[in-house]
């Protein structure tokens, strides 16, 4: 599926119902970025292979929204603090501080 088709699919269902694909990715994403029980090497591996996360390309057809996170993690090398866990445009979204 092209990135344009994935973007359309992601935003197509604005019924207010929980988007299970979005929720699955965000759960993986928050755990990957904030879980202090994950070793630095495992966190690096997860972030490097983020496209293998549940529904990664559905939530992020292109990686430009994730690249700043990769840079910040590379500089800090440690877990982040979750500073936003809410909805944006009807979809679950998160933001981190490092």
pLDDT tens digits, one per residue of 4-46? 544 445 555 556 677 899 999 999 999 999 999 999 999 999 9
- Per-residue three-class SS string for 16-69: CCCCHHHHHHHHHHHHHHHCCCCCHHHHHHHHHCHHHCCCHHHHCCCHHHCHHH
How many domains does the chain fold into? 1
pTM of this structure: 0.74
Q: Domain of residue 79: give its range.
A: 3-97
Of 37 and 67, the one with more pLDDT: 37
């Amino acid at each position: 599926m092209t990135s344009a088709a994935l973007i359309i699919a992601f935003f197509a269902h604005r019924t207010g119902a929980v988007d299970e694909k979005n929720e699955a990715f965000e759960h993986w994403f928050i755990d990957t970025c904030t879980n202090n029980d994950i070793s630095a090497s495992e966190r690096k591996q997860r972030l490097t292979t983020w496209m293998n996360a549940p529904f990664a390309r559905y939530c992020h057809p292109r990686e430009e929204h994730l690249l700043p996170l990769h840079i910040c993690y590379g500089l800090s090398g440690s877990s982040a603090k979750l500073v936003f866990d809410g909805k944006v445009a009807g979809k679950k979204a998160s933001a981190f501080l490092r």
